[in-house]
Amino acid sequence: MDNELHELEAELKRLRPVAPAPAVAADIGVALAAPRRRFWAWTALPLAAGLAGVALLRSPSTPPAPVPAAAAAYKPVSAENLLYSQRDEGLVTLADGTTARRYRSSYVDTITWKNPRTQASLRWSVPRTEERVIPVSFQ
Protein backbone atom coordinates (compact mmCIF):
# COMPACT_ATOMS: atom_id res chain seq x y z
CA MET A 1 0.00 0.00 0.00
CA ASP A 2 1.20 3.51 -0.70
CA ASN A 3 1.59 6.23 1.89
CA GLU A 4 -1.68 7.86 0.96
CA LEU A 5 -3.57 4.67 1.79
CA HIS A 6 -1.71 4.39 5.08
CA GLU A 7 -2.77 7.94 5.92
CA LEU A 8 -6.38 7.11 5.07
CA GLU A 9 -6.14 3.95 7.17
CA ALA A 10 -4.86 6.00 10.12
CA GLU A 11 -7.64 8.56 9.63
CA LEU A 12 -10.29 5.84 9.64
CA LYS A 13 -8.85 4.34 12.82
CA ARG A 14 -9.29 7.68 14.56
CA LEU A 15 -13.05 7.64 13.93
CA ARG A 16 -14.92 6.24 16.91
CA PRO A 17 -18.07 4.22 16.15
CA VAL A 18 -21.18 5.43 17.96
CA ALA A 19 -22.06 3.50 21.09
CA PRO A 20 -25.26 1.44 21.44
CA ALA A 21 -28.17 3.20 23.17
CA PRO A 22 -28.07 3.01 26.99
CA ALA A 23 -31.15 0.76 26.86
CA VAL A 24 -29.05 -1.98 25.26
CA ALA A 25 -26.70 -2.10 28.24
CA ALA A 26 -29.68 -2.04 30.59
CA ASP A 27 -31.28 -5.00 28.75
CA ILE A 28 -27.99 -6.92 28.84
CA GLY A 29 -27.83 -6.34 32.59
CA VAL A 30 -31.33 -7.77 32.99
CA ALA A 31 -30.54 -10.77 30.80
CA LEU A 32 -27.29 -11.53 32.61
CA ALA A 33 -28.97 -11.22 35.99
CA ALA A 34 -31.36 -14.04 35.05
CA PRO A 35 -30.41 -17.51 36.35
CA ARG A 36 -27.88 -19.19 34.07
CA ARG A 37 -27.54 -22.81 33.07
CA ARG A 38 -24.36 -24.72 33.77
CA PHE A 39 -23.06 -24.67 30.20
CA TRP A 40 -19.49 -25.70 31.04
CA ALA A 41 -20.56 -28.73 32.98
CA TRP A 42 -21.84 -30.08 29.66
CA THR A 43 -18.92 -28.92 27.53
CA ALA A 44 -16.08 -30.02 29.78
CA LEU A 45 -16.79 -33.75 29.62
CA PRO A 46 -17.04 -34.15 25.83
CA LEU A 47 -14.04 -31.86 25.36
CA ALA A 48 -11.93 -33.85 27.78
CA ALA A 49 -13.06 -37.10 26.13
CA GLY A 50 -12.37 -35.72 22.67
CA LEU A 51 -8.91 -34.45 23.56
CA ALA A 52 -8.04 -37.71 25.25
CA GLY A 53 -9.17 -39.49 22.07
CA VAL A 54 -7.04 -37.20 19.91
CA ALA A 55 -4.03 -37.83 22.14
CA LEU A 56 -4.57 -41.58 21.93
CA LEU A 57 -4.93 -41.56 18.15
CA ARG A 58 -1.84 -39.44 17.63
CA SER A 59 0.51 -41.52 19.78
CA PRO A 60 -0.91 -45.01 20.26
CA SER A 61 2.29 -46.42 21.81
CA THR A 62 2.57 -43.85 24.55
CA PRO A 63 0.19 -43.10 27.38
CA PRO A 64 -2.13 -40.17 26.65
CA ALA A 65 -1.03 -36.79 27.90
CA PRO A 66 -2.97 -35.40 30.82
CA VAL A 67 -6.10 -33.70 29.51
CA PRO A 68 -5.38 -30.21 30.95
CA ALA A 69 -1.99 -30.09 29.16
CA ALA A 70 -3.53 -31.26 25.88
CA ALA A 71 -6.42 -28.87 26.26
CA ALA A 72 -4.05 -25.95 26.73
CA ALA A 73 -2.65 -26.46 23.22
CA TYR A 74 -6.10 -26.06 21.67
CA LYS A 75 -7.50 -22.60 21.09
CA PRO A 76 -11.12 -21.92 20.21
CA VAL A 77 -11.38 -20.58 16.66
CA SER A 78 -15.12 -20.36 16.26
CA ALA A 79 -18.34 -20.67 18.21
CA GLU A 80 -21.42 -20.90 16.01
CA ASN A 81 -25.09 -21.11 16.83
CA LEU A 82 -27.21 -22.41 13.97
CA LEU A 83 -30.91 -21.72 14.28
CA TYR A 84 -32.82 -24.54 12.57
CA SER A 85 -36.33 -24.13 13.84
CA GLN A 86 -38.47 -21.53 15.48
CA ARG A 87 -42.04 -21.92 16.63
CA ASP A 88 -44.60 -19.49 18.00
CA GLU A 89 -46.39 -21.49 20.71
CA GLY A 90 -49.08 -18.90 21.24
CA LEU A 91 -50.32 -17.10 24.31
CA VAL A 92 -49.67 -18.37 27.83
CA THR A 93 -50.63 -17.03 31.25
CA LEU A 94 -47.78 -16.52 33.68
CA ALA A 95 -47.96 -17.19 37.42
CA ASP A 96 -48.69 -13.53 38.16
CA GLY A 97 -51.60 -13.50 35.70
CA THR A 98 -49.69 -11.66 32.97
CA THR A 99 -50.39 -12.75 29.43
CA ALA A 100 -47.32 -13.58 27.38
CA ARG A 101 -46.40 -15.13 24.06
CA ARG A 102 -44.07 -18.11 24.05
CA TYR A 103 -41.50 -18.77 21.31
CA ARG A 104 -39.37 -21.89 21.08
CA SER A 105 -36.14 -21.79 19.07
CA SER A 106 -33.90 -24.77 18.36
CA TYR A 107 -30.19 -24.33 17.74
CA VAL A 108 -27.14 -26.43 17.16
CA ASP A 109 -24.17 -24.85 18.95
CA THR A 110 -20.85 -25.79 17.43
CA ILE A 111 -17.51 -24.89 18.96
CA THR A 112 -14.27 -25.56 17.12
CA TRP A 113 -10.88 -25.70 18.77
CA LYS A 114 -7.61 -25.81 16.85
CA ASN A 115 -4.06 -26.61 17.80
CA PRO A 116 -2.05 -23.93 15.99
CA ARG A 117 1.12 -26.03 16.13
CA THR A 118 -0.21 -29.29 14.70
CA GLN A 119 -3.27 -27.89 12.89
CA ALA A 120 -5.34 -30.64 14.53
CA SER A 121 -8.87 -29.50 15.20
CA LEU A 122 -11.72 -30.59 17.38
CA ARG A 123 -15.34 -29.75 16.75
CA TRP A 124 -18.12 -30.18 19.29
CA SER A 125 -21.81 -29.74 18.54
CA VAL A 126 -24.77 -29.90 20.85
CA PRO A 127 -28.46 -29.16 20.31
CA ARG A 128 -29.97 -26.39 22.39
CA THR A 129 -33.55 -25.27 22.83
CA GLU A 130 -34.32 -21.73 23.87
CA GLU A 131 -37.71 -20.70 25.16
CA ARG A 132 -38.63 -17.02 25.15
CA VAL A 133 -41.64 -15.73 26.98
CA ILE A 134 -42.48 -12.17 26.02
CA PRO A 135 -45.23 -10.32 27.90
CA VAL A 136 -47.88 -8.86 25.61
CA SER A 137 -50.23 -5.98 26.17
CA PHE A 138 -53.66 -5.57 24.65
CA GLN A 139 -54.92 -2.15 23.60
Partner 1 sequence: MTLFRKAPRTERMEDIPDDESWTDWFQRYGPKLLLCARQWTRSLADAEDVVQEAFVRFWRHQRGLGGEPQALLFTSVRRAAIDLARRNSRRSAREEQADGGLESTEPLFETPLEGDDRREAIETALRRLPAEQREVLVLKIWGELTFEQIAAQLGIPPNTAASRYRYALGALREALTAADCHG
Contact residues for partner 1, defined by CB under 8 A: 1, 4-6, 8-9, 11-21, 23-25, 27-29, 31-32, 36, 39-40, 75-83, 86, 109, 111
SS3 10: helix
SS3 44: helix
Q: Which is nearer to partner 1, 66 or 76 (CB)?
A: 76
What's the closest the beta carbon of residue 125 comes to partner 1, in angstroms?
14
Cα 134 to Cα 31: distance, rounded to the nearest angstrom: 13
What's the closest the beta carbon of residue 100 comes to partner 1, in angstroms?
18
Q: Which is nearer to partner 1, 16 or 138 (CB)?
A: 16
The whole-angstrom distance between residue 33's C-alpha and the CA centroid of its chain comes to 18
Cα 47 to Cα 55: distance, rounded to the nearest angstrom: 12
What's the closest the beta carbon of residue 91 comes to partner 1, in angstroms?
18
68 phi, psi to nearest 5 deg: -60, -40
Q: Which is nearer to partner 1, 56 or 77 (CB)?
A: 77
What's the closest the beta carbon of residue 70 comes to partner 1, in angstroms?
13
